[in-house]
Each structure stands twice: as structure tokens, then as C-alpha cells.
Structure 1
Amino acid sequence: MTTQAQLDDRYGRTRSPRRRIVGWSIVGVLALGAIGFLGWTTVSNSLNAVTATDTGYTVVDDRTVTSTFQITAPTGRPVACALEARDEEHGTVGWRVVEYPASEDHTRAFTEEIPTLSLATTGFVNACWVP
């Protein structure tokens, strides 16, 4: 009578140590590649990161709001920011994109006017980025 081990040996269904080593080597290379890719994307995204901090706003009249803010950006790179004004129902009543030239200062402060369609209750920085 034949056993399962004899059948596996006869028809080549046993795993050889070499095949196991090759399989784990492929898995290891793929894992290292994935870790390297994720590491590179993390570093490259943080090199171009821009943060904005709102420091105040003033409602000038029913057609204008001024927003005061600071940006922290990479030195030597231009920066663009989207400014937004909203009314008391949280609807957008004004929008403006401003671009700043490259600077050697890491952190800079600005005050910008945002034109509005009606009376706004707030003005703030929606987003900033390196173009």
C-alpha cells in the first residue's frame, strides 16, 4: 500500500529547501521595495510641505475682509495660498489665490484683502502649497 508521502515524492509535490529559499527571497525583496517607496514618498512630501496659521481677520465693510496669517514654507521656493471669506451661515462669500515669490525666510507673515460678495463674518487661509 502506498502512503501519502510516497505519492508526494513520486509526483514531485514535496517542497525542496531551494524552492522555499527562493520564495522567501522574492517576498523579502518585494517588502524592501515597498518600504523604500513609502519612505521616499514621505520624505519628498515633507520637503514641499507648507503650513499656514491664521492670526486674525478684520471685517472692513460688506465687500472686504482682511486676513492676517503666517506661512512656514521651504526656503527658496515660491508659495501660493487660497484665502477664503465666509458668512454667518458658513457659506463662501469671497475667495482669492495669492502667490508669493521665493524667499530665504522659513516663516513669513502676511495681511491680505479678500473681496466679498456680501457681508462676511470671517476670513482665513484655506490652503497653501508650493506651485
Structure 2
Amino acid sequence: MTTTQQMLDERYGRHSARRRRWTLGIIVGVAAVAVGLFAWMTVAGALDDVDVDATGFHVVDERTVTIDFQFIAPPGRSVACALEAQDTQHGIVGWRVVEYPASDEHSRAFQETVPTVAEATTGFVNSCWVT
């Protein structure tokens, strides 16, 4: 390669094929690591998911609501659920967090009582999570 050719390559940013392959290899490697990390985070997050369904509620009296619900959680992991009672204006009149010990069962059903400060018109499970 002549000196003029080298000067032109430097001026216009031309690189050798070897340098282009090296850069491309680094980019592909970083992309592969990023995709692998994203996949692992997605799978790891899904392993601890708790799916909950409220199956019913019953207003016992002015100060009590019972909530029937079931959840699907990873076996061998303890679970906590936040139960909520609301009035006609959707104001929270009762709240309770209940913790359940680990079990070998994948799906479990419960009925819990939530004390309220005023008469409730509904009761439901706000959320459940693995503890």
C-alpha cells in the first residue's frame, strides 16, 4: 500500500477487512450477551409469579367481609396476599395482609375474613406475591 493510499484511508475512515471482522465480532458478542441476560431475567421473573382469582365475597355485617379466593404459586414457596374491602364510593374500609406457609400444592383455595371500619359493598384480593 502506498503512502497516498494510507493517507486516503485515514482521511475517509476506511478500515481493513480484519478490523471490520473484529468489530463485527464484538458487536455480535455483546448482542448475544444482552439477549441471554434478557431471556434469563424474563424466565427468573416468571418463576415467582402468583396468579390469584377472587371467587366470591360475602358481607357478614357492618364490620366484616369474607373473601373467597384461590391462587396458583410455585410449590415450596410461601405466599402473602393483600385483601381489601371497599364501600360504595370505592373507598378502602378494610385491609389485611395474610401470609401462607410453603406448600407442595401448586393451587390452593382460601376463605379469609377482613375487618372493616364501615360497611363494605365488595371484597377482593388486591395482590399476592412470593415471600
- TM-score w.r.t. structure 1 length? 0.91
- Where does residue 32 of structure 2 map in the other structure? 32
- Where does residue 94 of structure 1 map in the other structure? 94
Contact between 2:86 and 2:93, CA under 8 Å: does it hold in 1? yes
Residue identity in the other structure for 2:19 = R
Contact between 2:81 and 2:98, CA under 8 Å: does it hold in 1? yes
Contact between 2:50 and 2:129, CA under 8 Å: does it hold in 1? yes
- Please give the alpha-carbon distance, in whole angstroms, between the structure 2 residues aligned to 1:34 and 1:13: 28
- CA distance 1:130–1:9, shift in 2 (3 Å): closer
- Where does residue 120 of structure 1 map in the other structure? 120
How far did 1:45 drift? 0.9
Alignment of 1:1-131 (within 5 A): 7-9=7-9, 13-131=13-131
Cα-Cα RMSD = 1.8
- Please give the alpha-carbon distance, in whole angstroms, between the structure 2 residues aligned to 1:85 and 1:28: 53
Work out the percentage of aligned pairs sharing the same amino acid. Answer: 53
- CA distance 1:108–1:8, shift in 2 (3 Å): same
Residue identity in the other structure for 2:112 = E
Number of aligned positions between the proteins = 128
Residue identity in the other structure for 2:25 = S
Runs (4+) off by over 6 Å? none
Query: Tell me, which stretches of 5 or more residues in structure 1 are unaligned?
Result: none
Residue identity in the other structure for 2:32 = L
